Structure 1
Amino acid sequence: MIGFIGSVFSPWYAWSGRRDPANHSCINVVTYGPGGRFTMTDRGRSALRQSRDALQVGPSRMAWVGGTLVIDIDEISAPPIISRVQGQIRLTPSAVTSVEAMLTPSASHIWRPFAPSARIEVDLTQGHSWTGHGYFDANFGTAALEADFKRWTWGRYPRSHGGTTCFYDGLRADGSPLALGLDISADGEATEIVPPPLTKLSRTNWGIARDTRCDAGARPRQTMAMLDAPFYSRSVVQTTIDGDTVQGVHEALDLGRFRSPIVKGMLACRVPRRANWQFDQAD
């Protein structure tokens, strides 16, 4: 799940000229497998409430309670299966890092891997109830993604030593590469590393080119498809890092595709706009 202030993948935000981020806020929840749902309702500023420890957008809310991020979900999924998605997610970091990584030289895009290693408890409708390994990060930006990037890939891989290795790779709009590797221990200590070679993955069903970092001579592969869209892919990928065979979440984003008016029109069918939602009404 993702909380947005200025919903970067919302066509409504793009069509508005991105002048008022608070007027395009969203709690995006996606579940996979049998009973999987996709929710991404673009809501106006009347639906947004913020405090130091909490973010609420419409009927859904996330807040720090002690050392746990408690996320209460009450959303409606997009077509083709329209239904309520309700429940709670609890994420407890093993540690919180102080890392702030600039993705562009001008710092127009910043990545904060707050908690690359965490325990997560999920209890949602449609039968999604489980516990396991989770993470919490954030991106901040002062420019449109497509203004500064042509494409990017990101991967987060839990390691056998108890920490997490993350890779951010991309091609900026000016043609310069983004190549960032971080090794973060279970206690939150972060070390920038020289990434292993960038190695191709198979293209998605929509033809998006993908790659990730992998030891020389080894081959990364997708082990589970999660979200497959015309401009975006999320999947579970197996790769090898310093001889350690690992599996983690991988994302690929094609900003050339995202610029397309056709793609934005398609997105509008999956991302409804609720401009005047009020806290005294049902969703």
Structure 2
Amino acid sequence: MVPPGGYLWWYVDGLSDCGRYGLSVIAFVGSVFSPYYHWAGRRDPDNHVCINVALYAPEGNRWTMTERGRKATHRDALSFQVGPSQIRRDGGEIVIEFDEISVPRPPAQWLPKRVKGTIRFSPDAVTSQVFDIDAAGTHRWWPVSPTGRISAEFETGGENWSGHGYMDSNWGSEPLERGFTLWDWARGRLPNGDAVIIYDTIRKDGSHGEIAIRIGTDGEVHQIEMPAKTRIANGFWGVPRSGHHDEGAKPSLSRTLEDGPFYTRSVIRTRLTGETVDMMHESLSGARFASPVVKAMLPFRMPRRAK
């Protein structure tokens, strides 16, 4: 049960073995980045749900994030359906079936386009440790399955590929921007298959939250020393982002996947625990997202449908 004002999301991402393709999927209850949820007073999380599918490819990226209400939703212990898309557990596999319309993204895409297909994530293991990412435990994070194989098969809107995947979940009882000024998060796969994950946050009270872990393919979680941090060039909108690295090494920006007024997603190459690793990386500015001007810009990328 998500409380009024709160949120819950499940997150899956993947990068292809060839390095050319990627994706992220976020299934939201109490859509934490929704201007409609904010404008409605965040009273009814189940009336503000969506499955956000972002697809990254050399020929152009696709972005879908259509919010719907409770009448278009079905949720139980094994599945979550929003309109024509769903995420479900099928035995030991996570299956995401999506049928959405991507918003225009000039210059590569001037018109809306349908994307339809199936994503399958086969995790190596499920972890048991949940982390507080603020001092009060109001915001929590569970690295559900940080290693595994992922595949994407398309009926329309993309090329089939396979690679390595990741799954986690976040939830909280207050708006995200109330807890955080800024965060950098990144996850990568080491050459032996282990995952390394960094959470580095600046909270609204000025304190810092730092999580640095290594998780084996058996699901065992090991704390590691928090690595050094170096600023990476800002994106077009100026959101600050930083990459973590071993002493004496520096991160490099391989590709910017998303660049918005309050959020960036990137692929960075860095060195951690003595190994070169490609990281799926995100930076979030809670201070930017709190701005009414930014919220007013979001409906273009986040349309809402009643059903």
Q: The TM-score by the shorter chain falls in which range?
A: over 0.9
Q: Which moved more, 1:162-171 or 1:212-221?
A: 212-221
Partner of 2:139: 109
Deviation at 1:35, TM superposition (A): 4.2
Deviation track 1:78-115 (CA, whole Å, cap 9, x = no partner) reads 23531211110000001111120001122111011101
Identity of aligned residues (%): 45
Contact 1:237 1:248 (8 Å CA) reproduced: yes
Partner of 1:191: 222
Partner of 1:151: 182
The amino acid of 2:48's aligned partner reads H
Partner residue of 1:179 out of 189, 194, 210: 210
Partner of 1:17: 41
Deviation at 1:162, TM superposition (A): 1.6
CA distance in structure 1 between the aligned counterparts of 2:273 and 2:213, rounded to whole angstroms: 13
Contact 2:115 2:158 (8 Å CA) reproduced: no
Partner of 2:148: 118
CA distance in structure 1 between the aligned counterparts of 2:283 and 2:135, rounded to whole angstroms: 21
Partner of 1:280: none
The amino acid of 1:160's aligned partner reads P
Partner residue of 1:89 out of 119, 144, 167: 119
TM-score by length of 1: 0.95
TM-score by length of 2: 0.88
Contact 2:118 2:153 (8 Å CA) reproduced: yes
Partner of 2:107: none
Aligned residues between the structures:
276
Contact 1:113 1:136 (8 Å CA) reproduced: yes
Deviation at 1:207, TM superposition (A): 1.1
Contact 1:169 1:179 (8 Å CA) reproduced: yes
Partner of 1:47: 72
Partner residue of 1:231 out of 262, 286, 305: 262
The amino acid of 2:52's aligned partner reads N
SS in 1 for 2:289: helix
Is 1:32 aligned to residue 33 of structure 2? no
Is 1:66 aligned to residue 91 of structure 2? yes
Q: Which moved more, 1:196-205 or 1:170-179?
A: 196-205
Partner residue of 1:203 out of 215, 234, 244: 234
